[in-house]
A and B are shown apart, each in its own frame.
Chain A
Amino acid sequence: MKSFPVRRNTLVLGATLLILAIFAWAGWANWEYRRQEAERLLANAAQGELVPAPGGGTPQYISPLDGKPAPAFALNDLSGNKVSLASYRGKAVLINFWATWCGPCRIETPWIVELRQKYAAQGFEVLGVDTEGDDLKPDDKAGWVKATAAAGKFVAEEKVPYPVLLDGDAISRDYGGLDSLPASFFVDRKGVVVAAQVGLTSESDIESKIEKALAN
């Protein structure tokens, strides 16, 4: 009987260590899970980065999609017709993500309209992709009517002659997350992204990237 307190103390100590070990395991498992989840999310929505241009010009956006096939998509245009990127294979395409609330998008749109006219005969097309960032649900009819009307108003005001697609949010992750707009991806005739730009640059910068897409 005299040995009982020792045995009890051993049991208590053992149980305490066991509980601490379980807590440590739970913490480690949780940390490991978060690390893997963060890596997975980062891989799915790889972020580009802005790097200074040689000579101190406009910073260049380096996209993780550079040199890779442009992610495929098929979205409805303002008339409800499905438009796929694949149907433009053989043309150089500028995929221009914009939003009605985006001031810089409004500044660059007339440039893009002008450049589209200039290079259309060489096999160049623009796909405008409205990306409002409001995560509209597919069954939110009123929300879609409002979004379509707002996009249509923008297109009419800016006299946009190229297809404008809705629900860019559905494909934004494939294009690097698109944390800010405007965002443009320049795709060559083979469907490969040859240049990208996030944020407003200049008409000449956009033109040089269009020429690069046409040259490949």
Chain B
Amino acid sequence: MLDVKKNLFAPMLVFAIGLAVAYGQGLSSNAQSRPLVKTDAVTYLFPEQVSVPAGKPSQVTLHFRIAQGLHINSHTPSDDFLIPTTFAIPEGSGVQLQSATYPAGTVMTLPIDPTTKLSVYTGEFIIQVRLVATAGNHLVQGKLHYQACDQNQCMPPKTITVAIDVIGK
């Protein structure tokens, strides 16, 4: 028994050292490819997990929060040059997005241009989606696309991932 332990010891030591070095290298390569970290204007709040009847359309309400002092265009912005807020689920995830219902935007004007009325979301907002999931557990990577501004400046359009664990039963 002792011999077995002795024989196992050396390979285990080599494996552990290799693992440690690989861990360090892996983290370093992750750091190299990581872009500059910026604070997102929009944060997905919940739900993180939903259970729905498999194969049947089910309504799920997604909750989001916009950072203080910022607004994003609603799904139906007031001008065609403005980028609407949209939600999508990539194909092949086992979950189909049948429809998405967006809230009406709040009408807002900028102090410097009171004649232009904007349709925006501020604070917290929800999107109601109808999902159809196949049976099983699906980690859905939904995508929320938006473009945020404050009173004087605008940030480039952005897409954030909305991670939801959808369980089709």
Contacts and interface: CB of A to CB of B under 8 A. Distances in A.
Interface in B126-169: 147, 149-157
Contacts, number: 98
Contacts of A107: 110, 112-113
B149 A103 contact: yes
Contacts of A202: 112
B104 interface: no
A170 interface: no
A166 B158 CA distance: 20
B1 interface: no
Chain B: number of interface residues, binned into ranges:
20 to 34
Q: Which 8 A-B pairs have the closest CB atoms?
A: A26-B24, A133-B156, A199-B153, A199-B152, A180-B153, A22-B20, A200-B152, A30-B27
Interface stretch (B30-38, B45-53, B57-65, B95-103): B30-38
Contact of A27 (B6, B24, B82): B24
A21 to B, nearest CB: 9
B118 A103 contact: yes
Interface residues of A, number: 43
A33 interface: yes
Contact of A104 (B23, B25, B83, B152): B152
B121 to A, nearest CB: 15
B21 A26 contact: yes
B36 A101 contact: no
